Chain A
Amino acid sequence: MKLYNISFNNLWRRKGKLVFLVFGLVIGIATIVTLLSITESMSMDIEERLDKFGANIVMTPKNENLPLSYGGISLGVVNYTVTEFDETSLADIKTIKNSRNLGIIAPKVLGPISLRGRDVLLMGVDFKKERKLKAFWQFKGKFPVRPDEIAIGSQVASAFKLATRDTLLISNRVYTISGILLETGSSEDSVILVDLHEGQKILGKEGKITMVEVAAFCRGCPITEMTLQLAEKFPNARITTMKQAVMSKMQSIDMVKSFGLGVTVLVICIGVLLVFTTMMGSVNERTREIGIFRAIGFRRGHVMQIILLEAMIVGLLAGLIGFFGGSGIALSALPFVVKGGTFAGPNGLIGGISILASISLSLVASLYPAIKASRLDPSEALRSI
């Protein structure tokens, strides 16, 4: 028989007290596991959307623009120089150090055209790459495939009363509208999408590219470093990361996390206090028993070990129950928190941390009671018999 047998038997045969001890810590551990699991899934959801649904790096030529505004009224900009990329230079994008993180590279040529007396923005794109990049686009009709096909934004369609299979004469060439982009709420609603080389011809910008959208595989990729690498390759380009765009979403997640952590810390403190008071009560109840241990020859260290072993068992149980309980709650709650979100599954790292944290907290809470128990004078303890 060992000391842990005493600890284990005491807890096992006083199950009510064990449940009470474990309960306090389980609530705290389950709360933190739920919070971390949900925020992890939320972050993964955003990253997945980033990966699947759009560019996260945009390259545009550096323009020396002087914004012109007075009294809060914008009067436009004065362009000193406008430069565009050579299409041939785009190959340099794939020579950066982190090129393996590059996914889709989607070049575009942009410019205004006159259509039935009105100016409309024409955007020449590589149809295949653009379709992959903008997988979230929804069309009435279908996405253009052939060079003589085009797609138009919803605002263009309503402004010119156009429908699918209509034809447009642009720069003496006839194009068929294969699809109308359903409203996105962004600038694509007011563009005409044509094949890249058709667009270059129409705009008189053969071999030129106005901007490049790049989708990097960015779950954990060094996007800032990639931005610097691209800037080095293209000194005349302005490189913008979409990180800015999702920063507010990530900030929201961080705020939820911080608030949740604050609540969790409070819950854990209550749990620790519960363990402390229960252990103190237990030591007071077991004064006689501790007196017997000391009378038999147990040293102070042995008595402390018994109490702290009980704390470890309680912490381990609370950690395991809290982790699986919290994961279960996250699994149930996530569909309500993140629309279409999926639970990433029990995270081994979170599990390990929660168990270690639970054991540590239980030990900390039980330290003073253990010291008090070990210092009980056996003669005083036995006098209580």
Chain B
Amino acid sequence: MTIEHLIQVENIRKEYLWGSSTIPAIKNMDFVIDDGEFISIIGQSGSGKSTLLSILGGLNHPTKGQVFIDTLDVYELTSEQRADFRSEYIGIVFQSFQLIPYLTVLENIMLPMVITNGKTAEKRNKGMAVLDKVGLANKADRLPDQLSGGEQERVAIARAIVNKPPILLADEPTGSLDTGTAEEVMELLKQLNDSGQTIIMVTHNPEMCRYSHRTINVKDGEC
């Protein structure tokens, strides 16, 4: 088997135990993603798209199948090795921002750098640079609850890209935003993609798919 793509998903299946029975969240999925692509994964609620995203992020071991990222079989790694892998390869924008409430904006952005090497001053400069990139340099010392929804989403994106991971996973990045703010966030993601960032975005809003190169439709656990 040759691995020719940045991400290669082969025959994955994911089942969850529910009492004495199993429920398949993903029945069978097979696709590839290349470096620099902007992919939208779209589907109804409960179709398995968030489960798919967590599998792509090395967070959720599939019941069957393989996931290759940069030729590495992700689920052959141990749990701790996958943590290291995520630190280096994956940036995640969580649904509903998920910023740490007791850390400032800058501290939230610097969070992925806590476990990497480097001097604090350098990390701080990096954090400020990314904050500037998302247009929030003047809000570095604010707490998350002092920001609007759109600002929080931009902080979440900044946190995900601060370590320059090859892959950015975004779970419903515009889910809790109004149309205008959602468009701003999508423009930001588009800009990142234009500068070479590979982005995989889960959304239930077909309108947002126009920003991406390609759309993967997920229905009843299949694509």
Interface, chain A (partner B; CB < 8 A): 1-3, 5-6, 9-10, 12-14, 288-289, 292-300, 302, 378-379, 382, 385
Q: Contacts A10-B102, A382-B59, A385-B96: A296 and B86 contacting too (C-beta < 8 A)?
A: yes
30 pairs of residues in contact across A and B, judged by CB atoms under 8 Å: A1-B107, A1-B111, A1-B113, A1-B123, A1-B124, A6-B103, A6-B111, A14-B102, A289-B100, A294-B83, A295-B57, A295-B94, A296-B87, A296-B112, A297-B85, A297-B90, A297-B112, A297-B115, A298-B83, A298-B114, A299-B80, A299-B115, A300-B80, A300-B83, A379-B59, A382-B59, A382-B94, A385-B94, A385-B96, A385-B98
Which of chain A's residues has its CB closest to B88's CB? A297
Proximity string of chain B (81-119) to chain A, C-beta cutoff 8 Å, 1 when within and 0 when not: 001111110101011101011110001001111110000
Main secondary structure of the interface of B (DSSP, over half): helix
Closest Cβ of chain B to A81, distance in Å, is: 87
Residues in B whose Cβ lies below 8 Å from that of A1:
107, 110-111, 113-114, 120, 123-124
A302 vs B111: C-alpha distance when bound (angstroms): 12
B60 within 8 A of A: yes
B100–A379 contact, CB under 8 A? no
Given contacts A1-B110, A1-B123, A298-B114, 19 further A-B contacts (CB under 8 A): A3-B115, A5-B107, A9-B103, A14-B102, A289-B100, A292-B100, A293-B111, A294-B59, A297-B84, A297-B85, A297-B88, A297-B115, A299-B84, A299-B115, A300-B83, A302-B115, A379-B59, A379-B60, A382-B94
Interface, chain B (partner A; CB < 8 A): 54, 57, 59-60, 79-80, 83-88, 90, 92, 94-96, 98, 100-103, 107, 110-115, 120, 123-124, 159
Residues in A whose Cβ lies below 8 Å from that of B123:
1
Q: Which residue, of A3, A297, A299, A379, has the highest number of chain B Cβ atoms within 10 A?
A: A297
A297 vs B95: C-alpha distance when bound (angstroms): 17
A3–B114 contact, CB under 8 A? yes
Main secondary structure of the interface of A (DSSP, over half): helix
Which of chain A's residues has its CB closest to B111's CB? A296
Residues in B whose Cβ lies below 8 Å from that of A302:
114-115
Which of chain A's residues has its CB closest to B163's CB? A297
Residues in B whose Cβ lies below 8 Å from that of A299:
80, 83-84, 115
Residues in A whose Cβ lies below 8 Å from that of B57:
295
Which of chain B's residues has its CB closest to A297's CB? B87
